[in-house]
Chains A and B, each alone.
Chain A
Amino acid sequence: EVHLVESGGGLVEPGGSLRLSCVVSDFTFSNAWMSWVRQAPGKGLEWVGHIKRESDGGTTDYAAPVKGRFIISRDDSKNTLYLQMNSLKTEDTGLYYCATNSWFDYWGQGALVAVSS
């Protein structure tokens, strides 16, 4: 059974940084595009960005609200996806999910990020 486990969430002050990790098991991680999706409290789903598999160039795309502040990376040797979040704003507060492929067939349980002073 495929498992995705996010970690690294927490409380941070505005302007601070956090790095989320997502470890994927029982899945051909290196062959998949991987995404981060977030959900503000009581709100809908928002795509944050994705990283392509290395065979497709390993490039990244980001949603406009996070472009220039967030960086997605991957380590295929560790089956791990990362989200480096810098210059955090209060509006970045929410549950951050990692998800597989372009249509998100597998999801983690999410990592909670709270940005507050």
Chain B
Amino acid sequence: DIVMTQSPDSLAVSLGERATINCKSSQSVLYSFNNKNCLGWYQQKPGEPPKLLIYWASTRESGVPDRFSGSGSGTDFTLTISSLQAEDVAVYYCQQYCSPPQTFGQGTKLQIK
């Protein structure tokens, strides 16, 4: 199974500042059929289901603010929030969907400093 490890486990950032969350996979998640990385990022607020932010490692889902961006390839990925807003307080998860079992990172809790 592919193990997904996020860092840090929690993060406190000032409003308007940049937030960066890392995700490392135990093996490459490069999908050979389209040469894209099968890596997604989700945001989950308390009492709500997760919301897809990014797929194929860097493609922003429709309606997601452009302050959210994804980068990386192979085994190392990053979710960046360029200018933190109050509504971005949440837990963020990465996920690989290359092959079953699909696996999630343990989550990163993002708070306001």
Binding site for B on A (CB under 8 A): 35, 37, 44-47, 49-50, 61-64, 97, 102-105, 107-110
Contacts and interface: CB of A to CB of B under 8 A. Distances in A.
Given A35-B102, A61-B100, A103 B40 contact: yes
B50 A45 contact: yes
Given A102-B38, A103-B40, A110-B49, A47 B101 contact: yes
A46 B104 contact: yes
A61 B51 CA distance: 23
A44 B104 contact: yes
Contacts of A63: 101
Q: Which residue among B52, B91, B101, B106 has the maximum number of chain A CB atoms within 10 Å of its CB?
A: B101
Contacts of A44: 91, 93, 104-107
B68 interface: no
Contacts of A45: 42, 44, 50, 93, 95, 104, 107
Given A104-B50, A107-B49, A107-B50, A47 B61 contact: no
Contacts of A37: 50
Contacts, number: 58
The DSSP consensus for interface residues of chain B is loop
A108 B50 CA distance: 9
B101 A104 contact: no
Contacts of B105: 44
A35 B52 CA distance: 14
B65 to A, nearest CB: 17
A10 B106 CA distance: 26
B104 A104 contact: no
A103 B49 CA distance: 14
B112 to A, nearest CB: 21
19 contacts: A35-B102, A44-B91, A44-B93, A44-B105, A46-B104, A47-B102, A47-B103, A61-B100, A61-B101, A97-B49, A103-B40, A103-B52, A103-B56, A104-B52, A104-B95, A105-B61, A107-B49, A107-B50, A110-B49
